[in-house]
Amino acid sequence: MSDPDWWKSAVFYQIYPRSYMDTTGNGIGDLHGIIEKIPYLSNLGIDALWISPFFQSPMADFGYDVSDYRSVDPLFGNNQIFDDLLKCAHDHGLKIIVDMVLSHTSEEHPWFKESRSSGDNEKSDWYVWADAKPDGSPPNNWQSVFEGPAWTFDTRRGKYYLHNFLKQQPDLNFHNEAVQQQLLEECKFWLDKGVDGFRLDTANFYTHDKELRDNPPKTKDETPSNGTQFEKPYPYGMQRHVFDKSRPENLNFLKKLRSLMDQYPGTMTLGEIGDDDPYKLSVEYTEGNQHLHTAYNTHFMAGTDEGVLTKELIEDPINKFQALSKTAWPSWAFANHDVVRPVTRWGKNIKDKQAFSKLLIQILLTLRGTPFLYQGDELGLPEASIEFDDIQDPWGKALWPEWQGRDGCRTPIPWQKNGPYAGFSNTNQLTWLPISDTHTKHAVSEQEKESDSVLQFTKDFLLWRKNQPTIQLGDITFIETNNDNVLAYQRSLNDQTVQCLFNLSEDVQVFEDKKLSALEATFTNI
């Protein structure tokens, strides 16, 4: 892991702190809880942690609305506890990247409070302000990802401000050089502490069209995607996002950020890319050594109309990415804190969910690119069902009953089958989200006893992968199987090859190909 390109061969594990381990008894996970579970994570066999935001925040979007970039929110601990966490992780050989939310802040951030107070203060241009149209309507047709227009009128300034997400998350103005420089200073603060890099939330949302031109509608040939898990039309998905994000000026800031990262050898950046053409943009952001190190592509987090895993779903994004670049290095994940868990999303007709969970682990960890596991993947957790009264996600509240929002993948981790709150908390009140009854049978305590559990399989597979440089860094070539249920590809590095075959169904599949060698080393027989 002393290699500056350590992140290419590493396996990352995302932690959503609120739901990992509560050590304070308030029903919310915390940084000390992560420290307590570092031995578990080390034993699991992952190489690095991505920790979702733990900065000071009013929690309108549960930490993705930052009010102080340099302070740990008291809900999670304090800066000293983070220092302890960083040291503990490093002592166990684990890297840590933190989630930096740079495109917007909380409305409670002192910068925004000053900016909205008048039109002539030092930070009046730190956010995106615009006059109303003569009829009082917003400056243009841009839509919020979450709900409604991307503009809210502020009576103190007498202007609209831009927010691509919640109205409590005003967008910073990256056309202001002072804003860019200040954000670089916020990143430097954590680099000086010794973090190993950043996951950059909404990395293509930083800049906007200065002229505030309307986004064009999608053409008849383009699917009006809604960006959620329900099928009804959604305004954000009806537009081609030409002017509100993914602007060419974005690269200027990323270049500055890369220059900063280069001053801290061995650190890396992971960008979250959400765009109409995510592959083209991912390559543009990661090719060469001037911008991001790698991009976090969300294609694998989409559902299918049939609720099944198809080989095309795996093949298409990788082929599209590789057609654009042979050198840019992608990152892949099947899950994160924003999407329905894959066992539920793709396993609609699968009876043996444990076997299906193992299949997903095998596929993800053998693709070309850096894999990211999300907490609970190693347990095979399904999506939790949330009653309306228990929903915390503002997106879920807005879209109920068509969609319950993102809470179903955010419920607390079940550490024990028995006992209060499945070992997640000893609180005498309710946990921030309920523990799912469907999760307790998947508890860590139970799976550690079972030799054929998803958890034990994940450990074994991660251990096997550590000794497979071909799997870690090799090229990938898909093999035509003429069978919709058989996914096949070959990983190659120098003179070594590893052939990967997966049966996506629960029925026996027969497949023969002279180009493939004997199958005694298939991944079900590690």
Q: How far is residue 354 from each of residues 267, 309, 366, measured CA to CA in Å?
A: 36, 15, 19
CATH number belonging to domain 6-106+177-466: 3.20.20.80
Residue with structure tokens 């409590």? 168
**CB burial readout 285-311, b (16+ within 10 A) else e:** bbbeeebbbbbbbbbbbebeeeebbeb
In the block, tokens 């602007």 appear at 247
User: Is the torsion defined by CA of 161, 402, 350, 352 positive or negative?
Assistant: positive
SS3 11: coil
Domain boundaries of the chain, sorted by first residue: 6-106+177-466, 473-525
Q: What angle do CA 15, 16, 20 make, to 5 degrees?
A: 80
3-state secondary structure 156-181: CCCEEEECCCCCCCCEECCCCHHHHH
| Parts of the chain with a pLDDT under 50 | 226-228, 518-526
Read off φ and ψ for residue 111, nearest 5 degrees.
-60, -45
Residues 218-243: tens digit of each pLDDT: 987 776 554 445 556 789 989 999 99
At 297 the pLDDT is 74
Note if the pTM is more than 0.75. yes
- Rounded to the nearest 10 degrees, the angle between the axes of helix 177-193 and helix 250-262 is 30
Q: What are the catalytic residues?
A: 201, 272
What's residue 516's pLDDT? Answer: 60
Q: What is the pLDDT of residues 142-153, one digit of tens each?
A: 999 988 999 999
Angle at 52 between CA 77 and CA 65, to 5 degrees: 85
| CB distance 441 to 417 below 8 Å | yes
- Residue 480 corresponds to which tokens in the numbers above? 């035509």
How many Cβ atoms sit within 10 Å of the Cβ of residue 485? 16
The neighbour count for residue 224, using CB atoms within 10 Å, is: 13
d(CA 112, CA 491): 50
